[in-house]
């Protein structure tokens, strides 16, 4: 399976990511740990401090970020910083299993 590193501090969101990714998900304590996590896919909550700064350090790794659908400026900044897929929260969580497959 695909190894996944995630920076998702909210416990409710984290439980959903864990349920979809199973044993293949490693949660990191800070965005700066993502690049060294040895994952093939990175999942991030874009609204958290430090995430936008960490995205360019991922070296082309597939990254999936989610944010509020009304925060278009954040979504654009994430895409510019190298986030592969930027999704509204609702779409991210409704298609989470497919995204991580």
Do the beta carbons of residue 72 and residue 43 sit within 8 Å?
Answer: no
Q: What's the whole-model pTM score?
A: 0.93
Residue 24: Cβ within 10 Å count: 16
Q: How far apart, in whole angstroms, are the C-alpha atoms of residue 99 and residue 85?
A: 10
Token readout for 61 is 């790794």
* Residue 1: per-residue pLDDT: 66
- The pLDDT confidence band at residue 56, using thresholds 50, 70 and 90, is very high
Phi then psi dihedrals of residue 76, to 5 deg: -65, -40
Instruction: Say which residue, 1 or 6, is predicted with more confidence.
Output: 6
Q: How far apart, in whole angstroms, are the C-alpha atoms of residue 71 and residue 15?
A: 23
């Amino acid at each position: 399976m695909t190894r996944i590193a995630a920076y998702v501090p909210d416990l409710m969101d984290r439980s959903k990511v864990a349920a979809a990714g199973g044993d293949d998900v490693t949660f990191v304590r800070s965005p700066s740990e993502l690049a060294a996590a040895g994952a093939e896919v990175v999942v991030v909550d874009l609204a958290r401090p430090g995430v936008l700064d960490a995205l360019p350090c991922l070296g082309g790794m597939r990254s999936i970020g989610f944010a509020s659908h009304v925060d278009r400026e954040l979504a654009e900044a994430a895409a510019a910083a190298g986030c592969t897929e930027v999704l509204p929260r609702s779409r991210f969580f409704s298609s989470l299993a497919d995204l991580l497959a």
